[in-house]
Amino acid sequence: MPDSVATTDLAYDVERVRADFPILSRTVHDRKGKPGKPLVYLDSAASAQKPRQVIQAISRFLEEDYANIHRGVHFLSQTATDQFEAGRAKVATFLNAPSERSIVFTRSATEAINLVAASYGRTFLSEGDEVILSVMEHHANIVPWQLLQAEKKIVLKVVPVDDDGVLDLDAYRDLLSERTKLVAITHCSNVLGTVTPARVIAALAHERGIPVLFDGSQAVVHGPVDVQDIDADFYVFTAHKLYGPTGLGVLYGKYDLLKTMPPYQGGGDMIESVSFAGTTFKAPPSRFEAGTPPITEVIALAAAIDYVESIGREAIAAHEHDLLQYATQQLSQVDGLRIIGTAPGKGPIVSFALDGVHPHDVGTIVDQYGVAVRVGRHCAEPLADRFEVGPTIRASFALYNTRAEVDALVASVLAVKEFFGA
């Protein structure tokens, strides 16, 4: 992601973008034949809606080209294999990975992190070795390391953030030591929106020969990511937050590293030969793709990437940045509302608390106005503890959101305050 982006891009035609998303034209809470409220979808950080282009790519593949891949000698199998591998190449280009051999498909970003923990971690980490995380990690980038901790007696170190939610780079520098064997840090916080300085994080670790994993699930959605430029050793993201399908995650790994790692799961297309005397395994990425992979999903992700590229990642970033600024400004004017996470250059995510009203009550009431937000701790419980806020309300913006939808959010929050006399 860029460290900063230009403000409003006047050329951005959000209405044209919205027309690509069928779900955005529906109403919610329809009653007895009466239309309800227009959907204001501000929960894209949890899962983004799908454009018609992705939906059609799924239908077309299933209707015309579907077959299992890599095994069949028949026409459809070859066609499906070609499209699947073209999808891998597209993801590689999307991340500017040096080769598609560095792209491993998993079930989710969570599984991709688990793969690294289970394969790289179990092989190369031993008792007393340290893994550095940050306090703003999603549970998916905490729990796999805790499982490894229980198994290998490794030590987890946590980089703090300041009151704005900016990663404490000095503390990070101090935590790096001879015992550090891996750094695993988010590229963009799903709660605070904080974008971490990935290039600096990687460079400081690499001075000591320590590999770095970035959780990019929120980052790839909001702007260009270049894994070679930031020099990531591992980079993970999920398809469904990038306007693609559920059930598909991506692990990028430097090929020389992937080659050193043993299989994580066994079976299916990841083998070279099997006998009861023993099994030999294929090279990466096949080595890490046991069983029939998510074929349709990879083709759908390729369509999602095409879609995002057709609009332009810089243009999307500028549009979302405008929404973030507008939302921050408008919400800041609401009495008793506190925004959690005010780092400069943050992604388009606004988490906030409202004095005297519990987020669950806020979520239920704004939903009646058609406004879909996330309430809770957003799978980042240590961060909620850090800011001593417990659950919060999170509005997350995507390429299809508008300033009018920000106004709808603010109006619904004001209605909550009136309802509760807060």
Partner 1 sequence: MMDDLRELYQEVILDHGKNPRNFRHPDDANREAKGENPMCGDRFMVYLKLKDGVIEDVAFQGRGCAISTASASMMTEVVQGKTAEQAKALFETFHDLCTKDDHEHCDHGPVDEEAMEKLMVMSGVRQFPVRVKCATLAWHALNAAIDGEDKVSSEDRD
Q: Which residues are catalytic?
A: 379
Tell me whether strands 249-253 and 374-376 are parallel, antiparallel or unpaired. unpaired
- Is residue 142 exposed (0-12), middle (13-18) or buried (19+ Cβ within 10 Å)? buried
Helix (H, G, I), strand (E, B) or coil at 410: helix
| Residue entry with tokens 């891998």 | 88
Kindly determine how many residues on this chain lie close enough to bind partner 1 according to the rule CB under 8 A.
22
Tell me whether strands 37-38 and 103-106 are parallel, antiparallel or unpaired. unpaired
CA distance 298 to 240: 11
Contact 42, 371 (CB under 8 A): yes
Q: Is 393 in the site for partner 1 (CB under 8 A)?
A: no
Q: Is 36 in the site for partner 1 (CB under 8 A)?
A: yes
> In this structure, which amino acid lies at residue 128?
G
Q: Is 358 in the site for partner 1 (CB under 8 A)?
A: yes
Q: Is 32 in the site for partner 1 (CB under 8 A)?
A: no
368, 372, 407, 414: which one binds partner 1 (CB under 8 A): 368
Q: Is 394 in the site for partner 1 (CB under 8 A)?
A: no
- Pull the structure tokens for residue 178: 């001879």
Please tell me the chain's helix, strand, coil percentages from 3-state DSSP, rounded to the nearest 5.
45, 20, 40
Q: Is 29 in the site for partner 1 (CB under 8 A)?
A: yes
Helix (H, G, I), strand (E, B) or coil at 335: coil
Q: Is 411 in the site for partner 1 (CB under 8 A)?
A: no
Q: Is 376 in the site for partner 1 (CB under 8 A)?
A: yes
Alpha helices for 246-333 (secondary structure H): 255-260, 295-311, 313-332
Q: Is 420 in the site for partner 1 (CB under 8 A)?
A: yes
CB of 361: closest distance to partner 1 in angstroms? 5
Which of 91, 379 has the CB closer to partner 1? Answer: 379
343, 365, 383, 398: which one binds partner 1 (CB under 8 A): 365
- CA-based radius of gyration for the chain: 22
Q: Is 360 in the site for partner 1 (CB under 8 A)?
A: yes
Q: Is 377 in the site for partner 1 (CB under 8 A)?
A: yes
CB of 239: closest distance to partner 1 in angstroms? 25
- Pull the structure tokens for residue 208: 């000591």
Which of 14, 422 has the CB closer to partner 1? Answer: 422
- Pull the structure tokens for residue 419: 């309802």
Residue 167 is given by DSSP the state B
Q: Is 357 in the site for partner 1 (CB under 8 A)?
A: yes
Tell me whether strands 371-372 and 40-41 are parallel, antiparallel or unpaired. parallel
CB of 284: closest distance to partner 1 in angstroms? 36
CB of 362: closest distance to partner 1 in angstroms? 9
Q: Which of residues 226-265 bind partner 1 (CB under 8 A)?
A: none
CB of 148: closest distance to partner 1 in angstroms? 23
CB of 351: closest distance to partner 1 in angstroms? 14
Give the binding site for partner 1 (CB under 8 A): 29, 31, 36-37, 357-361, 364-365, 368-369, 375-377, 381, 384, 390-391, 419-420
